[in-house]
Amino acid sequence: MPRRSPRVLILYNNPAGSAKEGGVAFAESQAGVLDEVEAVARACQQRKIPQDRWAVRRFSDVTQVLAGCDHDVVFNLVEGFVEHPEQACYVPAVAAALDKACTGNETPGLLLSLDKFKSKAVLQGLGLPCPQGRVFSPGQEIRFSHFFEGPYIVKPLWSDASEGIDNRSIVSSKGRRLKEAILRVHEQTRQPALVEEYIEGRELNVSVIWKQGKPQVLPLAEIDFSAFGADRPRIVGYQAKWKADSFEYNHTPRIIPAPLPVKLAERIRFLAISACQALDCRDYCRVDFRVSRAGQPYILEVNANPDISPDAGFAAALAAAGISFQTFVHISIENALDRLDTKGKSTVPVHRNYDNTSGISENQLRWTRPEDRDVILSFLAESNMFRPNELDIAREVIDAALHDGPGGHYQSFVLEQSGRTVGWVCYGPTPCTVGTYDLYWIGVAPDCQKQGLGKALMALAEKNISACGGHLVIVETSGRQAYEPTRLFYESLRYDVCAQIADFYGPADDKVVFSKKLSAEPKGR
């Protein structure tokens, strides 16, 4: 049976997240994610796949956004954060924890491929050919005794997009220039420096995608350095990738398919798949190679989060294989959904539904006590309806109500059933108004819903508000599909929608404002 069209959230890092002291480092590569976002959004629109876009700056934003959206699939284009950019590797794990499918590589593959030295060790341990390498951390004494012979290439340990790589990164021998290249990486990127054996020869980019669980190597691409003179290192540094006015950018064309002997091409395809599998990578990735003058291929790195913008090598490889970008996006979404189905998605979160009535005596409704605090927070969290920061606010509200008591701003009541706290309502006067009140919170334990407890809590709140001279109650809630029972509940109590603000809480998560006039007239100030 075919799936319904999934709702996709294109999640990406705000390029402003690359800002560092003294300005923006590698601004061009950081801004490149916006081209990817536009390309994926356009492909979704062409495929009539509902999609929204949302930018994050910090890892903590990811949980807040994903916990508060109803999207089925996260199209993961997050490449880093303001602080701790490596935490981008954990985005798929957060999505999985929230029962959402996530495109691209999963957390283990992203983590393992991020560290070029660790991934090199894994590949070499499996007998796959890689250049020799050694890592120098910031502050570490730099010694070259018992060091392998050059030439060398010096690069940041964790960066991609050729950040921190230029002509000075190629050093012919041990000595002062090699030490300067190491220190330059430390200063520019605040990362350890990987000193790697430089392989003089041809450079190949090999893109791999997974279709129906099987890897497919796309046509091999070679970087053409024929315009480079003898004094210019034949590398794809930062200038070649991002500086459109540079010689390197304009003289490193891509040749697809690469003109390689049949046996060498077969060997490289085998090594590309083997490298991806060794690092637990799947869905789509790119493997970079150098082929020595003797015809020996070496794996430089596995890029588990390659640039998929329209003018990048990955998109060029798709086109050479006869695969449209729309099809690639569709395949990625299907792969993500298949992985989630295989792992077994948890049941749909319990939705609050208070649209029932029952006779509940008022002696079951009382002021909140300290022992109710953790019980309330527990059943709010159990409902799977609130983001972590919303639960933090609920905690603050309860604590304020307990501290100030009935004379304070927050009026907090619970409903007790058979000695157990099963419901909570909190309201208070709206500042700078006369007789207007906000309903801040209402919640019922999931296993006690559909018993009319929500209506009983609302009846108590409205009665108390009227007794205090209140005449208008304002309620704010989410426009997400998961909140439809909640909105129907308010409508059943004759609350009217008076405003709606798009994307207020998050992507496709509108704020819906309800209001209801009570019978009491407002008192004077």
Total length of the chain: 525
The amino acid present at 152, given as its one-letter code, is Y
Instruction: Please state, in angstroms and rounded to a whole number, the distance separating the CA atoms of residues 254 and 248.
Output: 12
418 phi-psi bin (left φ>0, alpha ψ -120 to 50, beta other): left
Q: Which of 21-25, 132-136, 208-212, 334-338 has the lowest mean pLDDT?
A: 21-25
Q: Which two tokens stand for residue 472?
A: 């208008």
**Over the stretch 158-187, which tens digit does the pLDDT of each residue have?**
888 788 888 899 999 998 999 999 999 999
Q: What is the structure's pLDDT at 4?
A: 64
Do the beta carbons of residue 41 and residue 17 sit within 8 Å?
no
> How many CA within 13 A on the CB side of residue 423?
27
Give residue 20's pLDDT band: very low, low, confident or very high (50, 70, 90): very low
Q: Which two tokens stand for residue 339?
A: 């992985």
Tell me what the mean pLDDT of segment 450-459 comes to: 92
Which domains, ranges and CATH numbers included, belong to the chain? Answer: 8-107 (3.40.50), 111-343 (3.30.470.20), 362-517 (3.40.630.30)
Q: Which of 19-23, 27-31, 283-287, 390-394 has the lowest mean pLDDT?
A: 19-23
The percentage of the chain sitting over the pLDDT mark of 90, rounded to a whole number, equals 71
Q: Is the pLDDT of residue 350 over 50?
A: no
**Over the stretch 490-503, which tens digit does the pLDDT of each residue have?**
999 999 999 999 99
Instruction: Please state, in angstroms and rounded to a whole number, the distance separating the CA atoms of residues 13 and 19.
Output: 12
Instruction: Please state, in angstroms and rounded to a whole number, the distance separating the CA atoms of residues 317 and 157.
Output: 26
Q: Is the pLDDT of residue 349 over 90?
A: no
Helices 116-125, 107-114: inter-axial angle, 10-degree rounding: 100
Instruction: Please state, in angstroms and rounded to a whole number, the distance separating the CA atoms of residues 99 and 479.
Output: 20
Give the dihedral sign, CA 449/450/453/454.
Answer: positive
Instruction: Please state, in angstroms and rounded to a whole number, the distance separating the CA atoms of residues 497 and 71.
Output: 24
Give the dihedral sign, CA 237/194/301/188.
Answer: negative
